[in-house]
Amino acid sequence: MAALLPSPVVLLVVGLAGLLTIACRPTTQPPEAVPGNALPGNFPTPWYALNQNPPNQAAFELGKQLFYEVKLSRDGSVSCGSCHRQEAAFAQANQSFSRGVNNRLGVRNAPALQNLRWRHSLLWDGGVSNLEMLPLAPLTNPVEMDESLDNVLVKLNADATYSQRFAAVYGAGPITSQQFLRALAQFTASLTSANSRYDHYVHGERGGTLSIQEVRGLQLFRKSCAGCHATDLFTDESFRNNGLDASFASDSGRAHITDTPRDRGKFKVPSLRNVAHTAPYMHDGRFATLGQVLAHYDHGVVASATLDPQLRQADGRLGIPLTAKQQKDLEAFLRTLTDTSFLSDPRLAKPQ
Amino acid sequence: MKAFATASRFCQLGFALCMLVSCKDTQQDEVLAPPTGKVVLEFDHVVGNQALDLETTTYTNAAGNPFTVNTFNYYISNIKLTQADGTVWSETESYHLVKESDASSQQVTLQQVPAGKYTRLTFTIGVDSARNVAGAQAGALEPRNGMFWTWNSGYIFTKLEGRSEQAPGNKALIFHIGGFKAPNNTIRTISPALPGNAPLQVQASHDLQVHLKVDVLGMFNGPTPNDNIDFRTLYDVMGGREAVRLADNYAAGMFRIDYVK
């Protein structure tokens, strides 16, 4: 009789098994409510960890509303989404410089916003160190939104809908700058692009086929470009002078942040994901096409004291020698980095 | 039925064990909680021998430049007290923004300091590098306090703005000292001498008052004449190499403990 009694240990085991069953149950889950919650297997460890601002649907939706909110600008004319457009991987297509309030012209090309969770520093010169603080730069820049954090909070606190939505996520009370910045980061951290044909190719998945030309391009890329455009994020997060100019009087790049002469003319190596949709290229948007960019590396590189050593060949030649055929191969490969699902994901689009 | 009873008894036993453990803890706390006291740090802003007045009074630095001050703010962080045997007490969440324009900010009360004799007071002028990159903060570190750079993100550790007739252009003086990365790291941690080397006696019965003179001239008058700042050539600093010169100056000579009582 006693042998039939479940002992506490057995109960415990059964209980644990129950828990495990729940955790490990194979799922046909609906699409994530918060996009970008999953960390792609071919990416390194994220810099802005999930647990720093745990993804939450209400906070994400609030962050999205703020991203597309024109109240963030002084005169209500522009939002983040005005210059960071989803169809261009959250860059601005065909604009070297974007327009801020009063139609003021910016001084650098609006960079794509994607895979920001993995970025060690933000902006072309790396001036911002934490994703949550990123919005303060465009918000306060006179040629962008020309607004103060104080005034944005006044406007948001005066809006009953925002008050309710913030209270629902962060609890009752006036909206604080910390809540505002963390809500925006819920959206910007969700902009993960890892679903290109190239990704399916590396994962050996269905639909992951590359043409012979694209594979040639990939091989050449790994040999000649991946020194800077490293890992499957296609950037090593460093700052480099890629030989655009002989001097940098109008924009010293990284040196603007570090006040160090050896950083003059260096800019953040950009990711190349969705690069076919983020034209124009470079920090000043000087190149309109990928063909022009590749031609620059072949024969346009200009010498200066801080030119990246990888752009000086052993024979003294500058740049990366590329035949016309090689340039075509590289361009074909770069187009496999387009992630159509990211560019058209309705969850990232402006709320109706 | 019996199975349920066994399981139930097991649960009761577990619950009772938990209760026992927690009751014991409480009792221990009551018996062993050591006495604590308060230490009040007072930051008294002066310019040499004169009190600091915003805008109204003209002062002169060692380089002979006359100047007035409109704004004088700085962060004090990571306050620590050390006993002779090396035991260190650290204030938790130790970030304070001290402003000449806000008298209440010039008094920082350290709560629940274990009673004892402390031979060293240590604090950072500025904000440690971890918090500079930690994301959106609240309280003293909230970015609305006008002490955060948005384009080169990080805290302005010390902000002095004013005017000198000898400064070029519009005569404005702008000294925003900050930056937490080599080679232009301006985080400075100091331990000002205790008057007469007498230890700070922290006790429950008395709030210890530590009065510091904070001398604005400490930014501009360096340890040697070569370190002096001349407003004819240096009047607009926002981080970078020049900020390091000012940070070195003020680490050496801006804070002095005047008296303790």
Band of the pLDDT at A32, cuts 50, 70, 90?
low
A178: nearest CB among B138, B151, B184? B138
- Positive or negative, the Cα torsion across B21, B22, B24, B28? positive
The pair of three-digit structure tokens given for residue A174, joined into one six-digit string? 């006036």
Q: For residue A194, which of A340, A86, A30 has the smallest C-alpha distance?
A: A340
- Supply the pLDDT for residue B29: 52
Fold of the A50-192 domain: Cytochrome Bc1 Complex; Chain D, domain 2 (1.10.760)
Q: With an 8 Å Cβ cutoff, is A257 touching chain B?
A: yes
Q: Where are the alpha helices (DSSP H) in chain A?
A: 8-24, 57-67, 80-83, 136-140, 149-157, 160-170, 177-188, 197-203, 212-224, 255-258, 290-295, 324-334, 340-343
Strand-pairing partners, residue A307, are: A241
Chain B residue with CA closest to A9: the answer is B7
Query: What are B's interface residues with A at a Cβ cutoff of 8 A?
Result: 2-3, 6-7, 10, 132-138, 142-144, 148, 150-154, 181, 183-184, 239-241
Mean pLDDT in chain A? 91
Band of the pLDDT at B30, cuts 50, 70, 90?
low
Band of the pLDDT at B33, cuts 50, 70, 90?
confident
Q: Distance from A199 to chain B by nearest Cα, in Å?
A: 31
Q: For residue A177, which of A142, A146, A138, A151 has the smallest C-alpha distance?
A: A151
Band of the pLDDT at B31, cuts 50, 70, 90?
low
Q: Distance from B188 to chain A by nearest Cα, in Å?
A: 18
Contact B3 A5 (CB under 8 A): yes
Statement: residue A11 has pLDDT above 90: no
Contacts of A130 in chain B (CB under 8 A): 133-135, 153
- Supply the pLDDT for residue B123: 98
Contact B153 A129 (CB under 8 A): yes
Contact A259 B240 (CB under 8 A): yes
Statement: residue A143 has pLDDT above 90: yes
Whole-number Å distance between alpha carbons of B98 and B71? 11
CB A268 within 8 A of CB A225: no
Contacts of A5 in chain B (CB under 8 A): 2-3, 6
Least confident of A240-244, B5-9, B158-162: B5-9
Statement: residue B185 has pLDDT above 50: yes
Statement: residue A7 has pLDDT above 50: no
CB B137 within 8 A of CB B131: yes
Q: For the segment A113-138, what is each residue's pLDDT rounded down to a tens digit? A: 999 999 999 999 999 999 999 999 99
CA distances from A286 to A97, A281, B104 (A): 10, 6, 53
Query: Which one-letter DSSP state was computed for residue B226?
Result: G
CA–centroid distance for A74 within its chain: 25
Q: For the segment A187-213, what is each residue's pLDDT rounded down to a tens digit? A: 999 999 999 999 999 999 998 999 999
Statement: residue B60 has pLDDT above 80: yes
Band of the pLDDT at B14, cuts 50, 70, 90?
very low
Q: For the segment B190-244, what is each residue's pLDDT rounded down to a tens digit? A: 999 999 999 999 999 999 999 999 999 999 999 999 999 999 999 999 999 999 9
Band of the pLDDT at A31, cuts 50, 70, 90?
low
Domain range annotation of chain A: 50-192, 197-340
Whole-number Å distance between alpha carbons of B25 and B40? 32
CB A175 within 8 A of CB A59: no
Statement: residue B13 has pLDDT above 70: no
Band of the pLDDT at B34, cuts 50, 70, 90?
confident
- Supply the pLDDT for residue A247: 96
Statement: residue A28 has pLDDT above 60: no
Q: With an 8 Å Cβ cutoff, is A108 touching chain B?
A: no
Q: With an 8 Å Cβ cutoff, is A52 touching chain B?
A: yes
Q: With an 8 Å Cβ cutoff, is A150 touching chain B?
A: yes
In a 13 Å sphere around the CA of A133, the CA atoms on its Cβ side amount to 30
**Token pair 């139930």 is at which residue?**
B8
Q: Omega before A270 cis (within 30°)? A: no
For this complex, say whether ipTM is above 0.90. no
Q: Distance from A219 to chain B by nearest Cα, in Å?
A: 37
Statement: residue A16 has pLDDT above 60: no
Band of the pLDDT at A220, cuts 50, 70, 90?
very high
Percent of chain A with pLDDT over 70: 91
Q: For the segment A34-74, what is each residue's pLDDT rounded down to a tens digit? A: 898 889 999 999 999 999 999 999 999 999 999 999 999 99
Whole-number Å distance between alpha carbons of A68 and A320? 40
- Supply the pLDDT for residue A15: 43
Determine the 3-state secondary structure of A312 from DSSP.
strand
Fold of the A197-340 domain: Cytochrome Bc1 Complex; Chain D, domain 2 (1.10.760)
Chain A residue with CA closest to B185: the answer is A258
CB B260 within 8 A of CB B195: yes
